């Protein structure tokens, strides 16, 4: 099967990782090409570089943008049509609203019957995106892949028929995120003690990520859990006003450690250094990749009842589900810090679930099955 994935961005984001990782997994059995957007002059094309690292053939469409720009959209359509004429695909898989729009328009103008699939990462934050998704998924798409019940319900509200919505578990590279690997000792490097209870957060440090709740909950439990530490992995334009300065004002500078952006084995080592993972608010990637990565490392998760989070993390099984307020979070921190056996059990359950349900192999097999069903249905028309 020849598959063309189209992704309208050059930045390495959660959806970019998900899209390219799926393409890499599908390449074990199929002919897969990945088309990404071009980077502005002077900036690195992170998606292109990752594609080379993953061994996935990549085509850079310099006119392909994340946001709709009529003139560049026309150039992008012409480029995509040229690629399809010379690299005949059996199916196209898009991932963001603008690459979906451009591909659908290109197929319509060229009168192509090529099947079109869309992965939906729950990032329709604007009214214009919701309107475009509604039109595209209802009129120009053979199937939309969702990763959670909440996403399915959102699309149903847009009038997308149930039979057009296909739920497939999101994935994580369980070979890379594996607690038995030999990883850097980030706990020692970050100056955490062997007895410290480290709550880890992996997220961009932004105002809407509720760091105020995290800091207030931490302040409330420091006298109960004196060995509590909070590790924040991520960067953000407003990190000083959102995290650094409030931590100082609340007397938490020795407890809250911000290490900025980490990658490679340093990042995985930081996950290993955590006693538990905390995730408050889904970001641009509604599949919450950082949660699956922590689960694959055998970590219990504290999460709120938002989006996919309570679907990935069963309360009392792989972690603790909380209300988004300081009291609920503080109680969860105290509960885990005071019960090593519970931490061990929840972590083991997280690891088992990640390996059984969230592997790239499982996701690729389910996606391949969907492709085949679409192609078979198309051949009968």
**pLDDT tens digits along 58-91:** 999 999 999 888 888 889 999 989 988 888 899 9
The predicted structure's pLDDT at residue 315: 97
**Comparing C-alpha atoms, which of 297, 292, 248 is closest to residue 269?**
297
List the chain domain ranges: 2-171+359-380, 186-357
The predicted structure's pLDDT at residue 284: 74
Report the interhelical angle of 46-54 vs 14-26 (nearest 10°).
30
**DSSP at 243:** I
What distance in Å separates the CA atoms of residue 316 and residue 295, rounded to the nearest whole number?
A: 14
Q: By mean pLDDT, which of 71-75, 244-248, 302-306 is the weakest?
A: 71-75
The predicted structure's pLDDT at residue 158: 87
User: Chain-wide mean pLDDT for the chain?
Assistant: 93
CA-based angle 273:275:276, to the nearest 5?
120
For the sheet containing 276-279, what is the strand order? Answer: 256-260, 228-233, 197-202, 276-279, 301-304, 319-322
- Beta strand ranges found along 15-173 (DSSP E): 31-37, 58-61, 91-94, 116-119, 143-146, 165-167
**Comparing C-alpha atoms, which of 6, 61, 47, 56 is closest to residue 26?**
56
What distance in Å separates the CA atoms of residue 260 and residue 252, rounded to the nearest whole number?
A: 17
Cβ–Cβ < 8 Å for 360, 173:
yes
376 contact partners, CB below 8 Å, separation of at least 6? none
- Lookup result for tokens 């650094």: 244
Q: What is the dihedral of CA 178, 182, 184, 190, to 10 degrees?
A: 60
Cβ–Cβ < 8 Å for 56, 24:
yes
Size of the chain in residues: 381
Longest dimension (CA), the chain: 69
What class does CATH assign to 186-357?
alpha beta
Could you tell me which residue, 25 or 285, shows the higher pLDDT?
25
Q: By mean pLDDT, which of 5-9, 131-135, 182-186 is the weakest?
A: 131-135
What's the CATH superfamily of 2-171+359-380?
Glycogen Phosphorylase B; (3.40.50.2000)
């Amino acid at each position: 099967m020849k598959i063309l994935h189209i992704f309208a961005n050059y930045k390495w984001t959660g959806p970019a990782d998900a899209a390219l990782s799926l393409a890499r997994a599908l390449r074990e059995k199929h002919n897969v090409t990945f088309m990404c957007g071009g980077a502005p002059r002077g900036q690195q094309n992170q998606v292109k570089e990752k594609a080379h690292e993953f061994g996935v053939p990549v085509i850079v469409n310099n006119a392909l943008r994340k946001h709709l720009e009529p003139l560049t959209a026309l150039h992008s359509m012409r480029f995509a049509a040229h690629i399809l004429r010379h690299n005949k695909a059996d199916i196209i898989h898009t991932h963001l609203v603008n690459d979906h729009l451009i591909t659908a328009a290109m197929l319509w103008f060229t009168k192509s019957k090529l099947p079109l699939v869309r992965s939906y990462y729950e990032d329709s934050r604007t009214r214009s995106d919701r309107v475009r998704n509604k039109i595209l998924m209802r009129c120009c798409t053979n199937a939309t892949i969702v990763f959670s019940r909440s996403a399915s319900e959102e699309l149903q509200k847009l009038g997308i028929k149930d039979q057009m919505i296909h739920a497939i578990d999101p994935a994580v590279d369980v070979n890379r995120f594996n607690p038995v690997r030999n990883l850097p000792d980030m706990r020692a490097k970050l100056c955490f003690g062997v007895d410290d209870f480290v709550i880890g957060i992996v997220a961009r440090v932004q105002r809407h990520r509720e760091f105020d709740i995290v800091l207030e909950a931490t302040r409330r439990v420091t006298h109960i859990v004196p060995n509590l530490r909070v590790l924040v992995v991520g960067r953000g334009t407003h990190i000083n006003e959102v995290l650094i300065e409030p931590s100082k004002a609340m007397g938490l500078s020795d407890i809250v450690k911000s290490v900025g952006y980490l990658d490679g084995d340093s990042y995985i080592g930081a996950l290993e250094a955590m006693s538990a993972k905390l995730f408050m608010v889904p970001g641009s990637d509604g599949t919450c990749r950082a949660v699956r990565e922590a689960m694959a490392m055998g970590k219990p998760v504290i999460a709120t009842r938002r989006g996919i989070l309570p679907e990935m993390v069963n309360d009392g099984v792989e972690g603790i589900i909380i209300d988004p307020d300081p009291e609920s979070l503080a109680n969860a921190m105290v509960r885990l810090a005071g019960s090593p056996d519970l931490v061990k059990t929840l972590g083991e359950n997280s690891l088992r679930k990640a390996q059984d349900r969230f592997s790239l192999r499982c996701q690729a097999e389910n996606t391949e099955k969907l492709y085949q069903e679409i192609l078979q249905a198309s051949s009968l028309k």
